[in-house]
Chain A
Amino acid sequence: MLSLDFLDDVRRMNKRQLYYQVLNFGMIVSSALMIWKGLMVITGSESPIVVVLSGSMEPAFHRGDLLFLTNRVEDPIRVGEIVVFRIEGREIPIVHRVLKIHEKQNGHIKFLTKGDNNAVDDRGLYKQGQHWLEKKDVVGRARGFVPYIGIVTILMNDYPKFKYAVLFLLGLFVLVHRD
């Protein structure tokens, strides 16, 4: 049987080789993790790569586009720029354009956003009683994008079983395959 044949390989491994297979898997996961954390440190943003989930920024961004963000403290937020922000209490970040800004002498700003494809501004989306966003809500500013690739992420989130199946198979393959 096919399954028994490749398990044979595993059975023939001694302790050290088994540990090396597990380490191999760990290294692949660690590499991905470290690249992500490295991007976080370099861009200064908590979530340096996001996927556009809705069509509220068409025709600039479509559902499924991948955005690269930076969040440098030195960059001022100006009207017309596209920011990605998170509303308090919600975990999904939103990608919209800055419409109005109130700026104080000490640099503290309050701003209002609106999606290009929306009819009204985002006040309806903000928290109850909140009328303006502040710098601390910003996840980052869009610096570049890749179209369509994010559709895979959207699919994985819509069908979580598919995601787990793919991850499980990949993990199994790495654990069993030697070198």
Chain B
Amino acid sequence: MAAAAVQGGRSGGSGGCSGAGGASNCGTGSGRSGLLDKIDDKPVKIDKWDGSAVKNSLDDSAKKVLLEKYKYVENFGLIDGRLTICTISCFFAIVALIWDYMHPFPESKPVLALCVISYFVMMGILTIYTSYKEKSIFLVAHRKDPTGMDPDDIWQLSSSLKRFDDKYTLKLTFISGRTKQQREAEFTKSIAKFFDHSGTLVMDAYEPEISRLHDSLAIERKIK
């Protein structure tokens, strides 16, 4: 009964979309091709032999699926943390540069020493942050509770693709806002399943995988 309510909610949502009329991509017929048009002006094409480009394009597309199809709100907390640490490090470097320029070398020794040590300490903090806090998570999305009463549910996406390997692992983690318990689902597939021979990402093959991961976690939540 709860699952049927979710389905009804979704089709009602896309009906409302075509009713609004203003949005250029909602009116293109079925919900599926509307999603494709929104994803990019043209399909993602990368060099299929470049491992990091492949991983980045798969990560970006998974992000787009979660954000656009399920309308979650992206939380930039993790990314902002990393940006702040990097900005502070660059700030120390700039301070050192300017101070040394204004007071030529022997007098600027203590300030320089301080800046250099702070810079390397910040580098250490950055390394710890990316290894332990970020942990290859590239998306944190919140599902806002419709009633506004319970805290948000959190969905996290993380992925890994080993160097020169073709097996891509995508892990979706669901943290319930209310009960704070964590559930995860993942799949490992060869990237050859998602790209055609020219390096274009085929959303038709990729999107169902993501939806399957998502639904397997969402359904468990409903049952509980």
Contacts and interface: CB of A to CB of B under 8 A. Distances in A.
B48 to A, nearest CB: 13
Interface string B113-126: 10110011001000
A75 to B, nearest CB: 15
B100 interface: yes
Interface extent on A, as a size class?
20 to 34
Interface stretch (B23-31, B81-89, B177-185, B213-221): B81-89
Nearest to B91: A30
Interface string B51-83: 011001000100000000000000010011011
A33 B45 contact: no
Interface stretch (A37-45, A57-65, A165-173): A37-45
Contact of B45 (A5, A20, A26, A40): A5
Interface extent on B, as a size class?
20 to 34
B105 A27 contact: no
Given A5-B45, A12-B40, A16-B79, A37 B112 contact: yes
Interface of A: 5, 8-9, 12, 16, 19-20, 23-24, 26-27, 29-31, 33-34, 37-38, 40-41, 44, 46, 178-179
20 contacts: A8-B45, A9-B46, A16-B76, A16-B79, A16-B83, A19-B83, A20-B83, A20-B86, A26-B93, A29-B93, A31-B123, A33-B97, A34-B92, A34-B119, A37-B100, A37-B116, A46-B105, A178-B52, A178-B53, A179-B56
